[in-house]
Structure 1
Amino acid sequence: MQTVKPALPRPVVAVICDRISYFQHNVHAVPETYLRALHEAAGVMPVLIPACPELLDLSTLLATVDGVLLPGSPSNVAAERYKAEPLPKETLMDLHRDETVFSLLPSVTAQGIPLMAICRGFQEVNVFYGGTLHRAVHERADAIDHREGDHARAIEEWYEDSHLVSVTPGGLLATLSGTQAVRVNSLHHQGVDRLGKGLRIEAFALDGLIEAFTAPDAPGLVLGLQWHPEMSLGHSPLAQQLFTTFGDSCRRRQQSRLCTKSTGGNDEFISAYAV
């Protein structure tokens, strides 16, 4: 009788939270749209990671997860992280998230854990690689206004495609999109100024602003996007491809992680899921 192998469990993806105030409590939260995109489009299981480094055991986390997502946020990366003058006092910040992300990224990238970074996450990764940020992209000469616009509009209208990005030939996005340009949404006022060392531009806006990058020499996938593909899955084949690619990378990481656990009671588990 033929033995039927059990279905491989979904890869686990750590999603870094924002720390926000909710009824005078410190709360760690992520918009549900990211979690649904990971579950439905990437085929992984999202797990929320609090923006509180003292609560995290790095070795446990790295041994458990198959991918990391840095989501967008209304808050800004502290300018001190890229050796610039502090942002104005009224600027929304999240120093707890900064501390969490920048404490995780060295090990995540060194170990080749797939990394997908969106909006604020995109900016965090650029800073981690030694890059800098524009404080107010819309104030640059001849710049597109990349902000989301009137907040009185329905939330769905914030995420409507608003401008073209040019796709760099020969890159990952060119392979996934099969085209030279795509329309994307835009909800940010900061952006990449100097690109971090080791990052490759995958797409840029018509005003020259970098909109996507990868890290070709990294041991695992590093994919950064300034726009929000999680909000475009209903109409954008590229958005679906981006999450599928991330999910596939997480599955490869999962298989490698399981196959390296070859001690004690893990042998039987690994054998059952071997490919």
Structure 2
Amino acid sequence: MPTAIVAIPADTRELDGYVWHASPFQYSDAALKAAGVIPLIVPALGRDLSGYTEIDAILDRVDGVMISGARSNVDPELYGEEPTEKNGPYDPDRDATSLPLIRRSIERGIPLLAICRGIQELNVALGGTLATEIHEAPGNLDHRRPEHDDPDVRFGIRQDIAIDKGSCLYDILQDEEAQVNSLHRQAIGELAPGLSVEARTQDGVIEAVSVDGASAFAVGVQWHPEYWAQSDPASYKLLKAFGEAARAYAREKRG
């Protein structure tokens, strides 16, 4: 069986006077140990790339794309709203890398898994908007992470979601309900054309989507399957399905 390689766009971080291209360990670890693919971190150089020629050069060398979560939010100007200090921080280089990677991977039929910030980037990339500070909306749950020193508590599985029985996610999990570790303060607002809702929380917040008519696996989730990838069955099944799609793409590409 050919080895599949999956691209993970990096964030930019300032540390010790340098700008770093970095990605949280959990995503690479989950890609390797749960999805069974080799992660390849792609520097966030999007603003220095001239277009799809360079994006295609990246995608020619991989068999899937995983869009990770991050501390930053998508720049609101990309969906027609004004940036505010409260809604930050922002990472324009990450936006300029991830959004074209998302669009082009869908166009080329390359498997795509978009996680947390990733599902928001997926929605914006295809023409949707984001709702910010959703915990302030009347009737909404508080989806933010608990303030705690222990990351296992912060990333605890605590939220119920309802899954559409006809969805890709249902096919993977074989259940109309699941518990997830969703921790976020913004979410999909206006759903992008070409996306279908796969799961919601009890207050109606969108927790999973898929790309309509995609020729390969193309799913976005608002929660963090990477954190409990090896111990939570639902997280493992999702990542495994993505890995299987990447390996299938690799087999087809290499004949």
- Which residue number in structure 1 is paired with residue 145 of structure 2? 148
Letter in 1 for 2:73: N
Deviations 1:32-64 (A, max 9, x none): 111111101111000000011236932321211
Rounded to whole Å, the distance in 1 between the matches of 2:5 and 2:72 is 26
- Which residue number in structure 2 is paired with residue 212 of structure 1? 208
Rounded to whole Å, the distance in 2 between the matches of 1:233 and 1:60 is 30
Letter in 1 for 2:67: L
- CA 1:177–1:190: 2 relative to 1, 3 Å: same
Greater mean alpha carbon deviation, residues 175-184 or residues 139-148: 175-184
Instruction: Tell whether 2:98 aligns with 1:138.
Output: no
Deviations 1:79-117 (A, max 9, x none): 011111223367211011011112322321100011100
- Which residue number in structure 1 is paired with residue 99 of structure 2? 102
How many residues align? The count is 251
For the residue of structure 2 that corresponds to 1:27, the secondary structure is strand
For the residue of structure 2 that corresponds to 1:88, the secondary structure is coil
Rounded to whole Å, the distance in 1 between the matches of 2:188 and 2:95 is 17
Instruction: Tell whether 2:234 aligns with 1:238.
Output: yes
Rounded to whole Å, the distance in 2 between the matches of 1:192 and 1:59 is 27
In structure 1, which of residues 18, 31, 35 is the aligned counterpart of residue 24 of structure 2? Answer: 31
Unaligned runs of 5+ in 2: none
Rounded to whole Å, the distance in 2 between the matches of 1:218 and 1:172 is 11
Greater mean alpha carbon deviation, residues 96-105 or residues 112-121: 96-105
Contact 2:87 2:132 in 1 (8 A): no
Rounded to whole Å, the distance in 2 between the matches of 1:68 and 1:37 is 13
- Which residue number in structure 2 is paired with residue 265 of structure 1? none
- Which residue number in structure 2 is paired with residue 157 of structure 1? 153
Rounded to whole Å, the distance in 2 between the matches of 1:33 and 1:193 is 27
- Which residue number in structure 1 is paired with residue 194 of structure 2? 198
Contact 1:16 1:71 in 2 (8 A): yes
For the residue of structure 2 that corresponds to 1:246, the secondary structure is helix
Which structure has the greater CA radius of gyration?
1
Greater mean alpha carbon deviation, residues 96-105 or residues 232-241: 232-241
Percentage identity across paired residues of the two chains: 35
Letter in 1 for 2:163: V
Rounded to whole Å, the distance in 2 between the matches of 1:57 and 1:165 is 38
Deviations 1:111-158 (A, max 9, x none): 0011100000110001111111011110111101000021x4211111
Greater mean alpha carbon deviation, residues 239-248 or residues 48-57: 48-57
Unaligned runs of 5+ in 1: 1-7, 260-275
1:180 shift after superposition: 1.7
Q: TM-score, normalised by structure 1?
A: 0.87
Contact 1:111 1:220 in 2 (8 A): no
Contact 2:2 2:247 in 1 (8 A): no
Contact 1:201 1:212 in 2 (8 A): yes
Divergent runs of 4+, >3 A? none
Rounded to whole Å, the distance in 2 between the matches of 1:201 and 1:140 is 20
